[in-house]
Amino acid sequence: MKQIKKCLALLLTAALCGGLLCVSAGAEASGDAGGSVIPEDQSQGAVRQEGDMVHVALSYGTEITLTSAEFGGTVSFPDPWSGETVTLKTIIAKPGCIAYATSADGQVHTAEDEGYADMGGPGDYENYGRLLCHHYGVQADGTLAIEGMNDYDLLGNTYARFGLDGNLWGYSVFITFFYADDGCYWITTREALDLFTSLTGIEETGAPEKPTFTDVSPDAWYYTFVETAAKKGLFAGAGDGTFAPEANMTYAEFLTVLSQFSGETLTPVTGGAWYDTYVQWAQPLIPEGMKEHFNPTAPITRQDMAALFGNFLERYDHPGQPVNDQVPSFVDSGDVADYAAEGVTAVYQMGLMFGADGNRFLPLATATRAQVAVTMVQMARVMGK
């Protein structure tokens, strides 16, 4: 029963492990109540990352959830069992990472000694998949060796015998792996992976760059623009690791970003709101017609963005060249305020803003922070930054 509980401790904290956290895969697995045998090179499930968690959805209904984990790069090495080269995609478990299993009936299982309900008896193995695993060790001299096999591990288990301190299995990084729909995976810690690469000389390749903001997915259409704007120091986040891409851009936020292009050292305004310094700097750029409704905390309109851009480009030197010399002919050009008309032409010719929704400029529409990030990346091009 003690062995079962240890097998159920899917992921203990990385700090306690002192090295590799690993998932098992294997020569064969009994994956469901029918006792079917799954070949070692057949997928055990689908892997996906959502935010700061990685999920393994098994074909028989159970899902393993790894908290505080992320995809890493890949490593390739000669498999001492088969003699063929194996390529492992890595999942990096960060300190404090815990895993739990949710079975098809909705029950959540982890280790009893971690404060959660015990899984029950050995019969419950049929709900999880019992794996016969190949275990490999990386010796101190950098060679790979077969450590043995284990038929007690569950998919997601990290009860592995790794002896980074010379106990148990000698000086080695312990490796087990499992097959998923899109390849073979190894769950590990950053420390263990770094030790593996240093001992063997094998490089980790293709490690994905971690997004700057937790709420900007690499799949989002604006991802590259937001990342570029952040790396250029144009945009700051919302203060909690997020960017708030769908939030409306305010006048104060817009002026804060625009000021980055001036190259000037701003004179601080103390004793007031955080944005007072930027509003003071922008006074020469704000046309009279805008001052009638200017509100730093209100969402900025497209025509006011264009007016401020236009006045900025006229006031400050820049190496940018127009992308066209045409006067825009938006179907709603007549709705653009007089004070913003020249600005709309300027941003159109410089390739900063264009029409939308059937060749309409939508002068009174607001813009999201993601949309402004796209425009600011184009502004960086114009300003030679």
| In the predicted structure, residue 180 carries a pLDDT above the cut 70 | yes
User: Does residue 92 lie within any of the structural domains?
Assistant: yes
Who wins on pLDDT, 110 or 4? 110
pLDDT tens across 60-90, in order? 677 777 777 888 999 998 877 777 888 889 8
* pLDDT on residue 309: 97
Q: Do 84 and 135 reside in the same domain of the chain?
A: yes
- Residue 269 within a domain: yes
Based on the fold, state whether residues 233 and 281 are members of the same structural domain.
yes
Whole-angstrom distance, CA of residue 280 vs CA of residue 267:
9
Please say if the pLDDT value at position 208 is more than 80: no
**Residue where one domain finishes, among candidates 137, 166, 200:** 200
Q: Are 31 and 166 in the same domain?
A: yes
Residues 28 and 133 placed together within one structural domain of the fold: yes
pLDDT reading at 119 higher than 70: no
Question: Looking at residue 49, what is its pLDDT?
Answer: 82
**Same domain for 309 and 193?**
no
177 and 298 both lie in a single domain: no
User: For residue 91, is it within any domain?
Assistant: yes
Please indicate, yes or no, whether residues 243 and 357 belong to a single structural domain of this protein. Answer: yes
3-state helix vs strand vs coil in the chain, percent to 5: 30, 25, 50
With CA atoms as reference, report the closest residue to 6 among 158, 137, 151: 158
**Does residue 83 share a domain with residue 25?**
yes
In the chain, the number of structural domains is: 2
Answer whether residue 218 is part of any domain. no
Examine the domain organization and report whether 246 and 164 are in the same domain: no
- Position 277 scores a pLDDT of 96
Q: Which residues contact 206 (CB under 8 A, 6 or more apart)?
A: 73, 74
- 235 and 137 housed in the same domain: no
Asked, for residue 215, whether it belongs to a domain, the answer is no
Tell me which DSSP letter residue 312 carries: H
What is the DSSP code (8-state) at residue 112?
A: G
Model confidence pLDDT, tens digit, residues 338-384? 999 999 999 999 999 988 878 899 999 999 999 999 999 889 888 88
Count Cβ atoms within 10 A of the Cβ of residue 111 and give its class: 0-12 exposed, 13-18 middle, 19 or more buried. buried
For the segment 209-220, what is each residue's pLDDT rounded down to a tens digit? Answer: 777 888 998 878
208 domain residue, yes or no: no
188 plus 305 within the same structural domain: no
Other Cβ atoms less than 10 A from the Cβ of 382: the count is: 21
Q: What is the pLDDT of residue 150?
A: 53
The last residue of a domain, from among 149, 169, 200: 200
- Residues 6 or more apart whose CB falls under 8 angstroms from that of 228 comprise 377, 380
pLDDT of residue 91: 86
Contact 181, 86 (CB under 8 A): no
* Residue closest to 323 by CA, chosen among 385, 262, 381: 381
Residue 207 lies inside a defined structural domain of this protein: no
Asked whether residue 3 carries a pLDDT value surpassing 60, the answer given is no
Which range has the top average pLDDT, 133-142, 167-176, 194-203, 313-322?
Answer: 313-322
Rounded CA gap, 249 and 368, in Å?
A: 5
**Host domain of residue 273:** 223-383
217 domain residue, yes or no: no
Domain end residue (candidates: 200, 235, 268) = 200
Output Rg (C-alpha) for the chain, integer angstroms. Answer: 28
More confident residue, 127 or 58: 58
Do 89 and 228 sit in the same domain of this protein? no
| pTM > 0.75: yes or no | no
Higher pLDDT, 287 or 106: 287
| Torsion sign, CA atoms 104, 155, 73, 15 | positive
